[in-house]
Amino acid sequence: MMNLEQTIAPKILVVGQGAREHALLHALSQSPQHPQLLVAPGNAGCETLAILVPIAVTDVPALVDFAVSQGVTFVVVGPEAPLSLGLVDALAEKDIPAFGPSQACATLESSKFFAKQCMGQASVPTAHYAYCQTETEGFTALETIGKPPYVVKEDGLAAGKGVTIASTLEEAKIAIQQAMEKAMPVVIESFLEGVELSLFAICDGVHAVPLPPAQDFKRVGDDDAGLNTGGMGAYSPVYFADEALVSAVQTKVLVPMLKTMAERGTPFHGLLYVGLMVHPHQPETLNVVEFNVRFGDPETQVVLPLLTAENVDVLALLQASASTGALANLFPQWVASGYRPSQLSWFCKSSNQARPSAVTVVMASQGYPEAYPTGNAISLPDLNSLEAGVIIYHAGTQKSAEGALLSAGGRVLSVTALAENLPQARRKAYGAIEAIDFPTGFNRTDIALKACLVE
């Protein structure tokens, strides 16, 4: 008898509209399950991969109704907002599985205090902190820390804003006062030295599978000058994130966090984004700076091409995260006790050594991350003329009535290249940027530069 399950293509709805979601669609489109893809709301770049559905990411009832009425078999949630609003819980009520955590687990990202409490319960290494609801409590906490820099974090969803690294006591006090004026409690932390690293782990409530480590460039200008942004570029793998470091994250962070979340009655499914502060090649010094509960942007644009280059079925990986313990059946070698990195060649000692690497450079609208114009013309090269391994992911783009490509957001494109080593990937990504005509756009010129100089 014919097995219907094998013949019906899964119908997948991706929620989101950035380059992260374009990269997700691109990876899902390569699945041997040949899924039918939909995206709400998507962007101009997603058109060739998926049907665009004009529903906002925060309109949970409309997303659920759409998924039910269209027979969607699996939903992949990109951004944080719908997770915080309980999209995954609402879909579960209709028996539609989804990639992403419950509303309760999404609080790990939306509340710094909640994240700190869970880290405390799980004995995860992180900066010392005080939770302060009044100005007096805040000022006392600063005295306890004693010397600058001071880290003051507003306890609410802030999309990368709301964190002040104060180099003087006065600056720290102002940040506390400003938060209190908004009736926003603060978490005050000691300052961690080191370099930042993003590690994504796909979690099924019990197990965690770490993906290739990535580094994100958060400041708007070269040499990390200027304002914080959502991220201006990324590369992966990272030369100092060796086996020992990833293994230490597994033992000290992922395993205890999953155990703690399960013990609290809210097992973690989806992606746990571990923002780390580390010292190169010293795994014992790692500290967690933050948790996010979804794929990072722009890191996803480098992590996913590395997985698909190794023929990983990304759809199967995301689907497995939704059912408790399923990763152990589907990816046993990745979740066996202790981490087994030999599955993918992510680790090596120098950046020039052959090892698949990816670099992405964000092209943004002039003015970003502050006010910027939209509706400006972008001309892309013929995609067939691009070097092998180059992919232009769209973020804030739209098509005019005449079909012309226009900017529609702060971050507009995420120009990505995959190559057999990091310097080549970097050269290819910047080569593709040269071929893009976006007169009102700009990009950093130093993405992955330092990493390429490490011998």
Task: Catalog residues that contact ligand AMP under the rule CB under 6 A.
Answer: 127, 151, 153, 163, 165, 189, 191-192, 196, 218, 275, 289-290
21 binds, among ligand AMP, ligand GLY, none (CB under 5 to 8 A by kind): none
How many angstroms separate the CA atoms of 100 and 351, rounded?
33
C-beta closer to ligand GLY: residue 287 or 292: 292
For 8-52, give the secondary structure using H, E and C. Answer: CCCEEEEEECCHHHHHHHHHHCCCCCCCEEEEEECCHHHHHCCEE
**CB–CB of 239/421 below 8 Å?**
no
80 binds, among ligand GLY, ligand AMP, none (CB under 5 to 8 A by kind): none
Residue nearest to ligand GLY according to CB distances in the complex: 296
**Could you tell me the smallest distance in angstroms from the CB atom of residue 162 to ligand AMP?**
7
**Could you tell me the smallest distance in angstroms from the CB atom of residue 76 to ligand GLY?**
16
**CB–CB of 419/428 below 8 Å?**
yes
List of E strands, 315-452 = 357-365, 390-394, 397-399, 405-407, 411-419, 441-442
Contact positions vs ligand GLY (CB under 6 A): 216, 231, 292, 296-297, 299
**Could you tell me the smallest distance in angstroms from the CB atom of residue 79 to ligand GLY?**
9
C-beta closer to ligand GLY: residue 100 or 296: 296
C-beta closer to ligand GLY: residue 216 or 313: 216
Burial 298-319 (b: 16+ CB within 10 A, else e): bbbbbbbbbbbeeebbbbebbb
**Could you tell me the smallest distance in angstroms from the CB atom of residue 4 to ligand AMP?**
46
The structure tokens listed for 67 are 């998924």
**Could you tell me the smallest distance in angstroms from the CB atom of residue 233 to ligand AMP?**
15
**Could you tell me the smallest distance in angstroms from the CB atom of residue 126 to ligand AMP?**
8
Residue type at position 4: L
290 binds, among ligand GLY, ligand AMP, none (CB under 5 to 8 A by kind): ligand AMP
Residue type at position 370: E
C-beta closer to ligand GLY: residue 242 or 299: 299
Q: Give me the half-sphere count of Cα atoms (radius 13 Å) on the Cβ side of residue 206.
A: 12
C-beta closer to ligand GLY: residue 204 or 216: 216
C-beta closer to ligand GLY: residue 260 or 292: 292
C-beta closer to ligand GLY: residue 162 or 296: 296
296 binds, among ligand AMP, ligand GLY, none (CB under 5 to 8 A by kind): ligand GLY
204 binds, among ligand AMP, ligand GLY, none (CB under 5 to 8 A by kind): none
Other CB atoms within 10 Å distance of the CB of residue 94: 11
C-beta closer to ligand GLY: residue 289 or 408: 289
397 binds, among ligand AMP, ligand GLY, none (CB under 5 to 8 A by kind): none
**CB–CB of 180/156 below 8 Å?**
no
**Could you tell me the smallest distance in angstroms from the CB atom of residue 241 to ligand AMP?**
16
The structure tokens listed for 287 are 């500290």
**CB–CB of 287/189 below 8 Å?**
no
C-beta closer to ligand GLY: residue 154 or 297: 297
Residue 224, Ramachandran bin (φ over 0: left; ψ between -120 and 50: alpha; else beta): left
- Name 272's bridge partners: 201
DSSP percent split of the chain into helix, strand, coil, nearest 5: 35, 25, 40
**CB–CB of 418/305 below 8 Å?**
yes
**Could you tell me the smallest distance in angstroms from the CB atom of residue 297 to ligand GLY?**
5
151 binds, among ligand AMP, ligand GLY, none (CB under 5 to 8 A by kind): ligand AMP
47 binds, among ligand GLY, ligand AMP, none (CB under 5 to 8 A by kind): none
242 binds, among ligand GLY, ligand AMP, none (CB under 5 to 8 A by kind): none
**Could you tell me the smallest distance in angstroms from the CB atom of residue 230 to ligand GLY?**
6
Query: What phi and psi, each to the nearest 5 degrees, are found at residue 53?
Result: -115, 120
